[in-house]
Structure 1
Amino acid sequence: MEYYSLLLKAHSGWRYVVLITLVIAILSSLAGWLGKKNYSPGNRKINLFALISAHIQFLLGLILYFMSPLAKAGDMSVAMKDSNLRYWTVEHTVMMLIAIALITIGHSKSKKLLDSVAKHRKVAIFYSIALIIIFVAITMIGDREAWQIR
């Protein structure tokens, strides 16, 4: 199997790890925030796993982006004229970058707080917004297929 195809499958499959860890982190944070619970080492680990899985996914996506036939051709004007290509080269990438930034900011801000409820609230809000952006990006895919430029 060619390297690009293998990375594409890894990126496609890893999204489930990201979605599951994000949902678990959000539910855990909401329970802690609304239940006024202490921020435990378990909460920290769950949030960190969500952060790490999202960063791994983003790195896989960046590698795919720069390995893509379109990026190798160096002519982005082609992508701007085709809505499917534009989605993958611009819209998907930017939305995922924003989601990763929100996850990172939420995790970083929560680490600086001393109050447990405030920690839970920061993670719940930032991770939830990131998850919404990810779902919007996924629903925008619709019936689009992965790049098949030859």
Structure 2
Amino acid sequence: MSEFTIRDATDADLQSITDIYNAAVLERMSSADIEPRTLEQRRAWVDSHEPRSLYPVVVVQNADGEVVAFGSLSRYHERAGYDGVVELSYYVAAPARRRGVGTLLVSWLLDAARERGMRMATTLIFSDNAGSIALMRRFGFTLFGELPDAVHLPGINHDMSYWYLPL
């Protein structure tokens, strides 16, 4: 995977993060947003990951320096009893899929969670998103619930599956 590198996201990456996310919104297979998000909305999302030392937002660059994916660890819940549980999120640009980018990014995020002393990782995935479900199974995540007909998007509905991995 030497053709890809992972680094902390910067303000210069906001447009790429927004573009990758909005492509996912329009694909309707990995985001419950109905409309594309603005650059300022994505900036607010990045800025919500505080402290960044515990809740990183990272990008994956290809050998040409192009951002092809991004991911994060987010606070699972604001109540202190949940500290140590993180939500893992990742989005990969369509041209970079099936090239190991998702695997590289999820591996990095799980390592980062462990290094930060987190005790559990969680993620939410549309139940019909076979690629992400296969990736979670590869890393040993366990399905612990499903919310039927949870997401209604124009032209498609999704069940939501809930996954966890003890760290």
TM-score normalised by the chain length of structure 2 = 0.23
Greater strand share, 1 or 2? 2
TM-score normalised by the chain length of structure 1 = 0.24
Select the structure of larger CA radius of gyration. 1
